Amino acid sequence: MTDPVLEVRGLRVEFDLPGGRLPAVAGVDLTLRRGEILALVGESGSGKSALSMSLVGLNRGPRTHISGEVSFGGRNLVEAPESELRLVRGKDITVVFQDALAALNPLHRAGAQVAEMIRTHRDVSRAAAWDRSVALLGEVGIASPRENAKAYPHQLSGGMRQRVMIAMGLANDPAVLIADEPTTALDVTIQAQVLGVLERLRADHGTSIILITHDLGVVAEVADRVAVMYAGAIVEQGTREEVLFAPQHPYTMGLLASVPPVDGPIAARLPAIPGSPLTGIDRPAGCAFAPRCAFAHDACAERPALTRRFGGPGHLDACVLDEPARAAARPEGSRS
């Protein structure tokens, strides 16, 4: 569980917009270790998808500027040419996208879409690829995979579509699987099943998984480590226990406070962090969360680095508050 599979250093992703450049990812350092499930959490627009797409250059384009380092297999993928990156995509690093209905080709059968993934990287016959894709569909828990492989996406349920995406994601036994909110659109039972599939995948194949979500319940259930993202930067990072039970950053604390009690009233589901996330082109020089932070003071005018402060050895945060202030800020129930 210790050797790093993927190392991200100083990653920036900027989009050209009519008014200027939007720093969707503003300098991210992240390490993904072998066989771990790393949860990437943050509000909508914090740059989770932009970050994960850029790892394999899926958002490359004339209006996107990606810089920094993504080391994988001894190479910097940010600098790798498309022709080289193609060999990594779908084979070593795969992505399970957010909206499975949109992410599947409506005109191709489910099994064929999985089979295409296989045949892109392996020299096997059509029939062999089909058989393997049927087996994969069975593996991710799709009932009567032989029949459902022949179905078109619109004929499958949301949960089945998401599983087809996952089957596709693991078709070539990747080292890294990025799952972008794989359970958001699903009901709780199906959600649990899909998470179970991811856990089994990690256990059986040693796959490293980046699990993007804004659902802290999901994090609590399956994540080994957690990285909290705000306005394109990681503000806190640590083990699941560290981040969920001893949060160091006021933003993480706010996120935790906004988690509704399981059977609580609807009002409890309203976000507890006042203000709205920073998504515009203009960013303050200092801490990006300061404008919304109840504990902001003069020292926040300078951007704090993500480093170990008051947490455990691997528990990093980007906040200048001292320990007593943090303890006072922590919501009820998460105090360690």
Ligand X SMILES: Nc1ncnc2c1ncn2[C@@H]1O[C@H](COP(=O)(O)OP(=O)(O)OP(=O)(O)O)[C@@H](O)[C@H]1O
For binding to ligand X (CB under 6 A), which residues are involved? Answer: 15, 22, 24, 42, 44-50, 59, 214, 279
Q: Which residues contact 89 (CB under 8 A, 6 or more apart)?
A: 56, 57, 58
Q: Which residues contact 278 (CB under 8 A, 6 or more apart)?
A: 230, 231, 288, 291
**331, interface contact from Mg ion, ligand X, another protein, none, CB < 5-8 Å by kind:** none
- Rounded (5°) CA angle 177-104-138: 65
Q: How far is CA 92 from CA 18, 101, 169, 175, in A?
A: 36, 24, 10, 5
Residue 304 dihedral angles phi and psi, to the nearest 5° = -80, 140
- State the nearest-atom distance from the C-beta of 179 to ligand X, in Å: 12
Site for Mg ion in 31-50 (CB under 5 A): 49
64, 120, 279, 334: which one binds another protein (CB under 8 A): 120
Q: Binding segment for another protein among 53-61, 249-257, 271-279, 309-317 (CB under 8 A)?
A: 53-61
**45, interface contact from ligand X, Mg ion, another protein, none, CB < 5-8 Å by kind:** ligand X
- State the nearest-atom distance from the C-beta of 52 to ligand X, in Å: 8
Q: Binding segment for another protein among 70-78, 89-97, 139-147, 293-301 (CB under 8 A)?
A: 89-97
CA atoms within 13 A on the CB side of 288: 25
Element (H, E) at 262: none
Cα 140 to Cα 163: distance, rounded to the nearest angstrom? 6
Q: Binding segment for another protein among 101-109, 122-130, 222-230, 323-331 (CB under 8 A)?
A: 101-109
- State the nearest-atom distance from the C-beta of 20 to ligand X, in Å: 12
- State the nearest-atom distance from the C-beta of 304 to Mg ion, in Å: 25
Contact (CB, 8 A) for 32 and 203: no
**134, interface contact from Mg ion, another protein, ligand X, none, CB < 5-8 Å by kind:** none
Neighbours of 108 (CB within 10 A): 14
Q: By rule CB under 8 A, what count of residues binds another protein?
A: 29
Contact (CB, 8 A) for 177 and 209: yes
Q: Which of 226, 173, 222 is nearest to 41 (CA)?
A: 226
127, 154, 188, 263: which one binds another protein (CB under 8 A): 154
**44, interface contact from another protein, Mg ion, ligand X, none, CB < 5-8 Å by kind:** ligand X
Would you say 65 or 292 has its CB closer to another protein? Answer: 65
The amino acid present at 307, given as its one-letter code, is T
Contact (CB, 8 A) for 175 and 201: no
130 binds another protein (CB under 8 A): no
**123, interface contact from another protein, Mg ion, ligand X, none, CB < 5-8 Å by kind:** none
12 binds another protein (CB under 8 A): no
- State the nearest-atom distance from the C-beta of 83 to another protein, in Å: 8
90 binds another protein (CB under 8 A): yes
Cα 258 to Cα 270: distance, rounded to the nearest angstrom? 7
The b/e string for 115-127 (b: 16+ C-beta within 10 A; e otherwise) is bbbbbebeeeeee
Residues that bind Mg ion (CB under 5 A): 49
Residues that bind another protein (CB under 8 A): 53, 56, 58, 82, 86-91, 94-95, 97, 99, 102-107, 113, 116-117, 120-121, 152, 154-155, 168
